[in-house]
Structure 1
């Protein structure tokens, strides 16, 4: 399967085995949450090994009194941005991989049932254009594209049609981030192509596996079903 160069598909055997378990209709909500956490952890390790760099932060001493050089990560000013609801299932796993606490912002997007196009209903990225006074054009020029992070780590377990991830990337780009790292458990080939082309020089996508396409309802086949419903026990809503 030919994919753009900014799409990276995991080949980790443990991730693939856990994904097979996650696909099953018999997997319980508790097991689903655990598997999403474990798959996100593996995916995050792979993605961060490529997207982050070590950075010297100073020196410290061991309990034996020996001095050593301390290491951090670069960029240090990154933020996690889960897409509600299902992105919340990946937050703890990815946050736990980082050496220090980072901001977590949320984007609420849902697909309209007929058009399958994304609708934004929640956004708590700081320094919104909408939060600035319309009577302050100078303030608008100075802060409209000021992001609180250089790198945004966007979390969305499923990339189906790609419309939701595309909209989220556009929001983050408008916010002013320099790069977006999108982590997803599963994507469709068509959705990944769509996402890869939104901002090719600024977006890297790491995905656990790729399914061929989506059905008429915009669901990946064979896929995972509605992972948000499965995570939050809302099946049949």
Structure 2
């Protein structure tokens, strides 16, 4: 903020008569202002634990998305529809966000909460996600809030014990059911995906007969592209029709 005030002060301090000198001065001040804005933006993005707070192993970002069922969306419009809620770096910062958020069970329509490591977008195409996949669990209505809380607390607490494999988690609220999923980086690593599955069963206290599906993001994209035109356009609407969990 001080940088911006300094730039404004510089603008008012110039008192030159020659147009050329004025132009040079303004160009230099414009560059300085842009540089200060960039630096200010970088400072705003840097999230660190506060004094005496308990740091998490990774920073995480909450996202929210909502859409109109049946309306086709491209990957570009889907990305634009995802709204970033905020990023946190400590246990205390997490609870400050979470305590003010609506619980999944109270959401309406086709709505989604995403919690991903900072720098990873909740999209198949993100570099951290493109070679990975997700475990999918479909829930009857009324269970989403409790399961979502248990899932994200286990993720933030590093209970999955798979190194840097976990990318994030999603809860998708639908009309007849709710869906939760956890995304990991490497779909081909069967030992890792099996450990994530077993940990998921434990932290959610799932009954033995609960159906769990693992789907690679590559397969999700293929399904969308072969059942929809034009090629390359994949929207959440078709994912729901195909019973594919992408969000």
TM-score by length of 2: 0.24
Query: Which structure has the highest helix share of the two?
Result: 2
Bigger radius of gyration? 2
Relative contact order, higher structure (CA 8 A, sep 6+): 1
Q: Which has the higher strand share?
A: 1
TM-score (norm 1): 0.24
